[in-house]
Amino acid sequence: MKYLILFCLLVVCCCTFGQESTPEEFLSELIQIESYSGCEVEVARMIGDWASTEGFYVTDFVTSEDSRNILVSLYPLSSRKPNILFSSHMDVVPAEYSEVWKELPFSGMISHDTIWGRGAIDCKGLAVMQLFAMKKFKDSLGTRDLPYNISFLGLSEEETMSVNGASLMSSKFMEEINPVVIFGEGGSGLKDILLSKPEVPVFGISTADKSSLWLKLTAEGGGFGHGAVPSDLYANKRLIKALIRLLDEKKSARFNLLVMEMFQELGQLEGGLRGFVLKHINWAIFWPIVRKHFREGEPFNVLIENTFSITHIESSATVSNQMAERAFAILDCRLLPGMEVDKFIKRMQRVVGSRVEIEILHQSPTAMPSTLTPFFDNMCTAIKKVYPNAAAIPILFPATTDNNFFRNLGIPVYGVIPSVLNAELFETIHSTNERIGVDNLEKGIEVYFQFLKTNVQGD
């Protein structure tokens, strides 16, 4: 009897070991790793182990004891084949454990056909779409030798400054990786964009990103140090008044070429009078009608303005009745392509005044939009195969991703998470209750699979 039990246990263990993870199970496991920026090594190891088991080549780019970048490729890099490169980052922003989360942020819970947790959308979900599309494509190849390599690049530290991630990889390893195109983080599908066809999902494939600029504003004050005897402009008051002037400053709309192309594409899809207005949305005659859609807080606002958010305010005071000698504010600024940082800061300095110091804490690379190539067209084709009634257009991505590091090298880079996400799901990114549906995950895999078939096999 004892040997029979041992035999049964051995059979169960062998069967369990031999089972392949489904995409949702693999994503769940990735989410359970708290991979904050600089702590991505466990995610990289899990991806590498999975890829090796599936017969891919794995190249580690170790940056520190806790972090690394990882490349998963169909052929070894030594083959020197031009590389169709998929890219995603492995780090996530912190998540506070609170009752607001319906499921714990690092539980990876799969409930009601939904995978819950930090990174489900941004950006481990995208990584799973790309990796499992590569697996499906590899399994379909047989013994055929392809003219392209196909690879996935998992990057570190995207949520902070990308120093050991995209910045390092773009400056030192692109010749070795040899990419001819890169698909990374970017737009997705949205419904209710077209009033005449609200059911039609419109996919935005980003060809450009805003750049990020983090500034520290410092104000100094004078007079007495006791809170009972305030001076005319003590440090906190000086800083607050400067911030109010910035918030009240009249902003100017900038309809650059890419934004106008986007609205022209939307106008073509919309048709009729509304379509005509969209195509000529920068005409002054239409501005009284459309202005409300471009106010601060509205979705279109970030496409035509350089924006900033006040993310942190503090002072040097240590007790409640002490006047601070200095007050500080951190601004997260997002700049349109082509905006010169020096000009932006000079204008801001004029607004806040000479008594407030502006210091650059960090700036991401700026890059002009990628030109449209057959790779872009093939991604549009792949999206329409999976979502037959969908439309796909080039867009400016209002956030900042790793993509600009690679665009600066002249590589065509496009950003797309090929899933239909509603406004509620978008609001969970960097917030509570981040999640993605299993159906969205599977369709994202199918889009990337169809993209590979179209490019490499001409299907």
Confidence of residue 443 (pLDDT cuts 50, 70, 90): very high
Helix boundaries (H) for 219-312: 235-248, 257-270, 272-279, 287-290, 301-304
Going across the sheet that includes 307-315, the strands are 307-315, 326-335, 211-220, 356-363
Confidence of residue 458 (pLDDT cuts 50, 70, 90): low
Reported as a single tens digit per residue, the pLDDT across 59-94 is 999 888 888 999 999 999 999 999 999 999 999 999
* Predicted local confidence at residue 319, as pLDDT: 82
Task: Look up the pTM and report it.
Answer: 0.90
Question: Mean per-residue pLDDT for 330-354?
Answer: 95
Q: Going by C-beta distance under 8 Å and a sequence separation of 6 or more, which residues neighbour residue 425?
A: 121, 435, 436
Question: Mean per-residue pLDDT for 22-48?
Answer: 97
Is pLDDT larger for residue 445 or for residue 317? 445
Beta-ladder partners of 14: none
CATH number for the segment(s) 211-363: 3.30.70.360
Q: Of 43-52, 218-227, 343-352, where does mean pLDDT reach its minimum?
A: 218-227
Q: Is 307 helix (H, G, I), strand (E, B) or coil?
A: strand
* Predicted local confidence at residue 66, as pLDDT: 87
Reported as a single tens digit per residue, the pLDDT across 239-288 is 999 999 999 998 878 898 999 999 999 999 999 999 999 999 999 899 88
Residue 296, pLDDT > 90, answer: no
β strands within 341-412, DSSP E? 356-363, 391-397
CA angle (124, 86, 206) in 5-degree steps: 85
DSSP designation for 364 = P
Residue 459, pLDDT > 70, answer: no
The two tokens of residue 179 are: 């990419």
Q: Which CATH superfamily is domain 20-189+393-457 in?
A: Zn peptidases (3.40.630.10)
* Predicted local confidence at residue 335, as pLDDT: 95
DSSP designation for 231 = -
* Predicted local confidence at residue 221, as pLDDT: 81
The rounded distance, in Å, linking the Cα atoms of 286 and 293 is 12
Question: Mean per-residue pLDDT for 27-36?
Answer: 98
Find out whether 189 and 202 touch, Cβ atoms under 8 Å.
Answer: yes
Reported as a single tens digit per residue, the pLDDT across 86-106 is 999 999 999 988 889 999 999
Find out whether 375 and 184 touch, Cβ atoms under 8 Å.
Answer: no
Residue 15, pLDDT > 80, answer: no
* Predicted local confidence at residue 6, as pLDDT: 41
* Predicted local confidence at residue 409, as pLDDT: 96
Question: Mean per-residue pLDDT for 332-358?
Answer: 95
The two tokens of residue 84 are: 């169709």
Question: Mean per-residue pLDDT for 228-238?
Answer: 82
Confidence of residue 11 (pLDDT cuts 50, 70, 90): very low
**Cα end-to-end span (Å), the chain:** 57
* Predicted local confidence at residue 2, as pLDDT: 44
Q: Of 157-161, 222-226, 441-445, where does mean pLDDT reach its minimum?
A: 222-226
Question: Mean per-residue pLDDT for 96-120?
Answer: 94
Per cent of the chain over pLDDT 70 is 94
Spans of all domains in the chain: 20-189+393-457, 211-363
Residue closest to 117 by CA, chosen among 126, 106, 127, 125: 106
Greatest Cα pair distance in the chain: 90
* Predicted local confidence at residue 62, as pLDDT: 86
The two tokens of residue 117 are: 């947790």
Q: How far is CA 40 from CA 65, 154, 388, 432, in A?
A: 10, 10, 37, 21
The rounded distance, in Å, linking the Cα atoms of 59 and 40 is 15
Reported as a single tens digit per residue, the pLDDT across 159-214 is 999 999 999 999 999 999 999 999 999 999 999 999 899 999 999 999 999 999 99
CA angle (376, 363, 303) in 5-degree steps: 50
Q: How far is CA 107 from CA 142, 349, 431, in A?
A: 37, 46, 15
Reported as a single tens digit per residue, the pLDDT across 124-152 is 999 999 999 999 999 999 888 999 999 99
β strands within 356-459, DSSP E? 356-363, 391-397, 413-420, 435-437
* Predicted local confidence at residue 148, as pLDDT: 95
Q: Pairing between strand 356-363 and 83-89?
A: unpaired
* Predicted local confidence at residue 1, as pLDDT: 46
Residue closest to 60 by CA, chosen among 45, 50, 75: 45
Mean pLDDT of all residues belonging to the chain: 91
Burial label, 199 (beta-carbon count in 10 A; 0-12, 13-18, 19+) = exposed
What DSSP letter does each residue of 182-228 carry, written as one string? EEEEEEEEESS-SSS-TTS-EEEEEEEEPEEEEEEEEEE--S-SBTT
Residue 373, pLDDT > 60, answer: yes
* Predicted local confidence at residue 317, as pLDDT: 72
Per cent of the chain over pLDDT 90 is 76
- Residue indicated by tokens 């697996």: 135
Reported as a single tens digit per residue, the pLDDT across 298-316 is 778 889 999 999 999 999 8
- The H-or-E segment that residue 447 falls in is helix 438-452
